[in-house]
Structure 1
Amino acid sequence: MKVVAFNGSPREQGNTRRGLEIVLAELEKEGIQTELIQLGGKRVFGCLACNQCKVNKNLRCARSDDEMNTFIAKMFEADGIIIGSPTYFSNVSTEVKALIDRAGVVARANNHVLKGKVGVPLVAARRAGATFVYSAINFFFGINQMVIPGSSYWNLTLGGAPGDIEKDEEGKNTFILLGKNMAGLLKRLN
């Protein structure tokens, strides 16, 4: 089994990444292969609604930019997907929005290839707005007929500066349990 995680923060070593590392460590303890991909800061763009993916049906977006088709392919190959985003004005980062829009359209154009996969949102926020980000990512998982495990709280951490996650014990414990729950669900489904 394999889980691919996307760090949607342009702060490559920020709280979003650290949260992802906590979840991935739990998956690795259970023998699940993981990959962490740096999405934030990439030059990726939103969907243009050209509908070529519906015509081509080749599991690819017709638009070519920084690695987007590579990211989409990794999602389709994985058993589980984690999308991590910082909170920017109560929403996901632009890179995460581009990923979920384009991957979602391509998936739906190709016989709903994300159906049945496990999806997990992970959010970092300075203070507020995190539940909107959490919802935006979950909406992507839901419309793609994916299975979403829970934790003891919403999958978020609070902290403004990189490293502040280390002060958020509740957030870290939420991510640890999330990793354990995702591993258990993956094992049951596979």
Structure 2
Amino acid sequence: MNVLLLNGSARPQGCTATALAEVAGTLEAEGISTEIVTLGPDPLRDCVGCGACARLEGACVFGDDPINGLLEKARRADGFVFGTPVYYAHPSGRLFSALDRMFYAGGDAFHHKPGAAVASARRAGTTASLDAVNKYFTIAQMPVVSSSYWNMVHGNTPDEVKQDMEGLQIMRNLGRNMAWLLRCIQAGREAGFQPPQAERQYRTNFIR
């Protein structure tokens, strides 16, 4: 089993990376392999709503940035942790752009796989950011992994985040809960339980 951790920060060794490393370390200690991918500072296209992904069999029409490569990793992953710094009480724009395109183009790569959001802030805006990222999980039929408190750390630098002892504890508990849920899903699969099939026959438009 393996978990893909996506760092929505432009800084590969910043505060968000520090939080994700704590989760990854706990998962590794539980026997779950991990991979942390940082979106980094390079330009990243937003989703333009062109609909071309519907005919491209799970790929985005734009192939000049990391999104299609991330979708391949997502198809091989058993669980996900999406981390973001907090900007103006919302997640980073690059994380939104990446998730919009990944979930539109390859939503089936995420269905019924556990997901967790992690937010890093100097002071505030974390709960609003977590709420925004969690919506990707709930629309894709993904179990949302919780911890012993909100999945957040506080600090203005990585060294300050390392002083947030409760925040790091939350990250470790999140890793343990993710490992536990992954094992439960695997045990259910081995016992013959398969994910339910969602109904898709109705689509209500309120303006006609």
Which band: TM-score by shorter chain?
over 0.9
Q: Give secondary structure in 2 for the equivalent of 1:178.
A: helix
Which fold has the larger relative contact order, with Cα–Cα distance below 8 Å and residues 6 or more apart in sequence?
1
Displaced runs of 4 or more, over 4 A? none
Q: Does 1:182 align with 2:181?
A: no
**C-alpha deviation, 1:49, in angstroms:** 0.6
Match for residue 95 of structure 2?
A: 96
**C-alpha deviation, 1:64, in angstroms:** 2.1
> One-letter code of the match for 1:80?
G
Match for residue 60 of structure 2?
A: 61
Percent of residue pairs identical? 37
**C-alpha deviation, 1:107, in angstroms:** 2.7
> One-letter code of the match for 1:65?
D
> Quick check: which has more Rg, 1 or 2?
2
Q: Give secondary structure in 1 for the equivalent of 2:88.
A: coil
Match for residue 77 of structure 2?
A: 78
Match of 2:134 among 132, 135, 138: 138
Once the two structures are superposed, what CA deviation does each residue of 1:80-124 show, in whole Å capped at 9, x if it has no partner?
A: 01110000111111210111100111134xxx3311101010110
Cα distance in 1 between the residues matched to 2:71 and 2:41: 17
**C-alpha deviation, 1:74, in angstroms:** 1.1
Match for residue 114 of structure 1?
A: 110
Q: Give secondary structure in 2 for the equivalent of 1:37.
A: strand
Q: Name structure 1 gaps, 5 residues minimum.
A: none
Once the two structures are superposed, what CA deviation does each residue of 1:29-63 show, in whole Å capped at 9, x if it has no partner?
A: 1111110111132321110111011122x211011
Decide whether the 8 Å contact of 2:74 with 2:109 is kept in 1: no
Number of residue equivalences: 186
> One-letter code of the match for 1:52?
A
Decide whether the 8 Å contact of 2:71 with 2:109 is kept in 1: no
**Normalization by structure 1: what TM-score?**
0.94
Equivalent positions of 1:6-17 (< 5 A) are 6-17=6-17
Q: Give secondary structure in 1 for the equivalent of 2:109.
A: coil
> One-letter code of the match for 1:40?
G
Q: Does 1:42 align with 2:42?
A: yes
Decide whether the 8 Å contact of 1:107 with 1:144 is kept in 2: no
Match for residue 25 of structure 1?
A: 25
Cα distance in 1 between the residues matched to 2:60 and 2:7: 21
